[in-house]
Structure 1
Amino acid sequence: MSSTPLRRVAVLVLEGAKPLDVGIPAQVFTTRASMPYEVRVCGAAPGLVTGGDGLSYHVAHGLDVLDWAETVFIPGYRAPDRDDPPPAVVDALRAAHAGGARLAAISTGAFALAATGLLDGRRATTHWHYTRALMEKHPLIRVDENVLFVDESSVLTSAGAASGIDLCLHILRGDIGVAASNHAARRLVAAPYRSGGQAQFVPRSVSEPLGERFAATREWALHRLGEPLNLKVLARHAAVSPRTLSRRFVEDTGYTPMQWVTRARVDAARELLERSERSVEQIAADVGLGTGANLRLHFQHVLGTTPSEYRRTFSQGE
């Protein structure tokens, strides 16, 4: 049993908090044997917090928990364009960030984070329905309305509720590795990884559910990463032309088909590095990247590190 201290996560519940937004980080980072986190739910003060959608929350902790936390989640809340968070909340968030905490907003929680000034001059996102309001209320923020989440290192933001899961899994991947993130995704019955650059809302002028078809093609490809996969092979499985696949795939995922395949292969390699003793050369062959040199090249491009350094950081045997 490891004696490594648990990572500390706070979920800050504000007035009008949306139930799903509150539940996502509490559920993803729940304290359990497979998750090295401790989660505390707090509010502006201990006690009852009136939420949205007819629900209320009884929180055990006040703002002092933010001094304890290493990561603070700010769930979305109702009427963010009209109601500013209390000054004490804004001050506590600023102090937590100054003390080294990472602040992560889900959906309209971005408005509370924006009130601190910590997003000024940075990229950020929020639920697509409120992106215009966020731009108008906080003009110094570079609001990106076409992404699922934005990682600006110590401040992170995500779009509507479901993308909060994507943000949490993204954080997990960076903290403790892709195997743990995939395990959490399976527990949540969620997609193991969606790019932060994936569009929030893609308007479609056709009735055919192309997104669902391509989801099936992506799932099919994930089970064949070690095989030759090119644009024609993927298009044949999706029963569309290569040109149509390329155009729609970017809309669905934020990547071209072959960029997505490469990243899927890198992710598969990451999990093998974490969970097996196979050599870099063997893993490269297993995931369809051919040689260790090619795997190292893509690791450096995608992750900014080497397979060996990654294994030392995230190996479950460490």
Structure 2
Amino acid sequence: MGSPRMGRRAFLGGVSAGVVGSMFTGERRGVAQARGATDTEPDKPTQVALIKGDDRRRNVRESLLAIEKEVREAIGSRQVVIKPNFVTTNKPLAATHVEAVVGILDFLKPFYKQTVVIAESPAGAPAAKGYESYGYTKLTSTYDVSLDELDADRHRTFHVLDTQLRPTPVRMARMLCDPDFYVISAAVMKTHNAVVATLGLKNVVVGGALKFGRRSDKRQFHQGTKLINYNMFLIAQHVRPALTVIDGYQGMEGNGPTGGTAVDSRIAIAGTDVVATDRIGLEVMGVDFADVGYLNYCADAGLGQGDRSMVGVVGADPVKCVQKYKMHDRFDGQMKWKSDDFQTISLEGDIRS
């Protein structure tokens, strides 16, 4: 077996040229607009903001102020959507803290004069339950926001692969892939039970798959260790955030995304390139970028900047912010994505984002 990187490229080339290539026929023309982000040239540098401090709300706001010009120009007249990560509706450590969203709203308020949509689709409950239990309902009395059920949105259907490499439909929230919407992924810094870590990209790609009654299309991603990573890459070609904000004020290590323990990292990260932004998130968690399959697939395909030498960091020094996060108990099994086969492993609770 070759190196992990060669294995990825062979997999990308072989599968994409066949099943995946035909799967996307007729959809590619609108992809760049729909996702609200642009492809990244390998030699194009990008910038990510990293702020460390003792106030969550201020950290988030200052991380955005560091890249304000780029963000304001990109928003223009588009409808802003903030996509938090609730996962469940009764575990605050696993969810996007309301003060992180307040930091985003503080940043937007001076120049954005439309209603800001906050929309979420928790894995097993209505978003309204999360809005209530996590204190989001109070936002409506201070800010011009609407608290929406992402599952009530219209959808677009894309396809992932099952274990036999057959196309499987996934219904994604239309607002997350509509060029008229500016999508902000308000993510939490956490380890994960299937893909090592969940940050800005996974929050939108898997979290944006809809559920209808007892049927959740989030489950369609989970086809074993290799394919969950590849399936996230497939959807990221159509759906990824225009702006990523990672709240690492208190992250989660160990058996995330819901069963881990708190790490007081006291940071916030923001960037308009989700791959680069997530890469800095991994760096301060002490996670090797080469171990996270879906981000490597996206970087290899030019969906974001994965070359660390091309990612500039403004604000705090990442080296001084590193706190080594304990990995999930299943970490060794998660590394099977680097192999050339499609061996699957059982992942309890793996529909969580």
TM-score of the alignment, normalized to the shorter chain, above 0.5: no
Specify which structure has the bigger relative contact order, considering alpha-carbon pairs within 8 angstroms and separated by 6 or more residues. Answer: 2
Q: Normalising by the residue count of structure 1, what TM-score does the alignment of the two structures yield? A: 0.30
**Between Structure 1 and Structure 2, which shows a larger proportion of strand residues?**
2
Q: TM-score, normalised by structure 2?
A: 0.27
Question: Which of the two has higher C-alpha Rg?
Answer: 1
